[in-house]
Amino acid sequence: MEDNIVVWVLFGVISWSAVFILVRSVLPKRSFDFCNRLVSTVHVFLAVILSCLSVQDWRCPLCPLVSPPTTSQVVLEILQKRAMAVTLSYLIYDFICCLFDTQISIDNLIHHIVSIIGLGAALVYRMCGLVMVTTLCLTEMSSPFLHLREILKELGYRDTNLNFSADLSFAVIFTFGRIVLGPFVPYVTLTTDNPLLIKSDSHKLRTGGLVIVVGSWSSVLWW
């Protein structure tokens, strides 16, 4: 992993932690989860914006997976690295937060570990930039409503039309982004004529991981 990426990740972990401490100090009467979800919401918007800026052509977000490097592609690669570094640093921060929560969720910890390994491997091997940022867009675009529904409950809006709207928005966007569009990511990755997909065992493992994740999205939605 390049030194500047390591700096980005370390700076990100410190920054997310500082934002959480700031939120806790401003809202001392709110729960640990409430404050952490506010930080998570900030990450969602930042990650999605950086990911969207990293896409070269929205008519085919995963294109070109293989092509001679150009100046624009070099700039996009830098944006992709920053988007992944921001999310990697957030995941490390959130993993630590999970350890201090009132109830430790093992499946959530496993999710964080797998995601940290996947993003870390992509940054180390300098692979899958477009795949990763596209996956970030698809997986994170429903997250604001996920956090909103829980924030509204703590604010006293449980069982209201506003909370129902947040639940419905989350379910629709989650289903569309992860279940309808999600399988397209590993499909394109597996069917693209890219020698690295054949020669790199680590890349195969990450691609296989994407397939497993896509396959489990349906059960996760209703779990």
How far apart are alpha carbons 217 and 49 in whole angstroms? Answer: 23
For 71-92, b where at least 16 C-beta lie within 10 A, e where not — what string?
eebeebeebbbbbbbbbbbbbb
pLDDT of residue 194: 46
Strands (E), 114-201: none
How far apart are alpha carbons 167 and 223 in whole angstroms? Answer: 14
Domain ranges of the chain: 3-222
Please name which of 124, 132, 94 lies closest in space to residue 111, comparing C-alpha atoms.
94
Residue with tokens 């979800």: 37
How far apart are alpha carbons 170 and 154 in whole angstroms? Answer: 17
Helix (H, G, I), strand (E, B) or coil at 91: helix
Structure tokens at 38: 């506010």
- Mention every residue, 6+ apart, whose C-beta is less than 8 A from residue 146: 170, 174
Query: For the whole prediction, is pTM greater than 0.85?
Result: no
In the chain (223 residues long), the average pLDDT of successive 10-residue segments reads 78 95 94 94 90 74 56 74 90 91 79 83 73 80 90 90 90 83 69 45 42 41 40
How far apart are alpha carbons 36 and 156 in whole angstroms? Answer: 18
Q: Which amino acid is at 211?
A: V
pLDDT of residue 104: 77
Helix (H, G, I), strand (E, B) or coil at 133: helix
